[in-house]
Amino acid sequence: MADTTQFDLVSPERRLASAQVVSVQIPGADGDMTAMAGHAPTITTLRPGLLSTESPDGTSEYLVTGGFAEITATGVTVLAERALPRSEVTADHLAEMVKEAEEAYAKAKEVFVNEPGPVDDAAKLLADMVAVGDHIRV
């Protein structure tokens, strides 16, 4: 059996997972990454997407909308802004998340006139949320 590492996923509402896993696929803001036992210490921000784990018991998937992942010698800890097990995600959840991203984009365009950075970030968040919905087809 492959080496395992501790994985913890926490959102403001609850702890979603705490388990020994073989790997964690993380939707990082700078690109997707896979963390395994022995991975170099890393901290990354999350983009909206599916975070998945592979364990001796099988695969688990979680929808995350942002936050941070910390990879250490002892495991992977993900602090998500919002997270749901994929099995609990409904079309209503996705519609709400896309609506929030649309509102954030509209507000950024209003507040940050002639400042493309924050507007581009909000547009990227909206595009990522739409892409997640297309990917998981709830």
Domain boundaries of the chain, sorted by first residue: 5-86, 90-136
Does position 136 have pLDDT exceeding 70, yes or no?
Answer: yes
- % of the chain residues with pLDDT over 90: 51
**Cα dihedral angle (101, 67, 61, 8), rounded to 10 degrees?**
-160
Average the pLDDT over each of 27-36, 49-58, 70-79, 93-102 and give the range with the smallest value. Answer: 93-102
Which pLDDT band holds residue 102 (cuts at 50, 70, 90)?
A: confident
Containing 104, the helix (H) or strand (E) segment is helix 91-111
pLDDT, one tens digit per residue, over 20-59 is 999 999 999 889 999 999 999 999 999 999 999 999 889 9
Q: Where are the beta strands (DSSP E) in 37-86?
A: 42-46, 49-55, 58-64, 67-72, 75-80, 83-85
Residues 41 and 26: their CA atoms lie apart, in Å, by: 14
Check: CATH 3.40.50.2300 for 5-86?
Answer: no
